Chain A
Amino acid sequence: QKEVEQNSGPLSVPEGAIASLNCTYSDRVSQSFFWYRQYSGKSPELIMSIYSNGDKEDGRFTAQLNKASQYVSLLIRDSQPSDSATYLCAVNRPRITGGGNKLTFGTGTQLKVEL
């Protein structure tokens, strides 16, 4: 079992729709969770972080965390063509010496927003 699992996609949604991206993780002691957006050929860009169960909203983005189910998701409302990218789920493994953020990434979900 992979430590962080994502459906590779592509996930295609029409412009203006809600895109739902999902991620599961295997390490129950994981403490913090991040969503990064990565355009082709570019580096990952942090878009959301979430640390406690429930929802966290930031503009058109909502991150949802359910630690009991070991599940984290990202909702993108009013999807735009510029949202077309690969979305990487990252999980913090807390046992790194001296604190810090040793992230384990999924393989990413490719999102395509169609006109």
Chain B
Amino acid sequence: DTGVSQDPRHKITKRGQNVTFRCDPISEHNRLYWYRQTLGQGPEFLTYFQNEAQLEKSRLLSDRFSAERPKGSFSTLEIQRTEQGDSAMYLCASSPPQGSNTEAFFGQGTRLTVV
């Protein structure tokens, strides 16, 4: 396990369809984050898990979005009824449990295109 792994790397879907992305964090990291990045912008925070608990959600995470981390290991991000505005790179990151000033490492991302 050499890093954060995301699957799939690319997803093209039709508007209105549901999509689900998976993230496997670095094994000893109990903190997991989801971000979204659009062209020309920096990543924007979506949600944060510590172990299996979802501790914070951004206002960007509308009710069409849901994230889970059922066993405190991998996480999934589901988008229901996709819209063209959901097209973006979805990034997962993880960090170790020591304190709050810890480094977060990103996976390769899942690039979503809604047509």
Inter-chain contacts of A31 with B (CB < 8 A): 100-101
Q: How far is the CB of B34 from chain A (nearest CB, A)?
A: 11
Residues of A within 8 A of B99 (CB): 99
Chain A interface size range: 20 to 34
A45 and B95 alpha carbons, distance in the complex (Å)? 13
Number of A-B contacts (CB under 8 A): 81
A79 at interface (Cβ–Cβ under 8 A)? no
Residue of A8, A88, A103, A108 with most partner-chain B CB within 10 A: A103
B108 to chain A: closest residue by CB: A43
Query: Who on chain B is nearest to A104 by CB?
Result: B45
Chain A residues contacting B35 (CB-CB under 8 Å) are: 103
- Neighbouring A residues of B63 by C-beta, 8 Å: none
Q: Which of A10-18, A54-62, A63-71, A89-97 contacts B (4 or more CB under 8 A)?
A: A89-97
B26-56 CB contacts (< 8 Å) to partner A: 31, 33, 35, 40-45, 48, 50, 53, 55-56
Q: Name 14 A/B residue pairs within 8 A (Cβ), A-sorted.
A: A8-B40, A42-B108, A42-B109, A46-B104, A46-B105, A46-B106, A88-B42, A97-B56, A98-B55, A100-B55, A102-B33, A104-B45, A107-B40, A108-B42
Given contacts A103-B43, A107-B41, 5 further A-B contacts (CB under 8 A): A34-B103, A42-B108, A99-B50, A100-B48, A101-B102
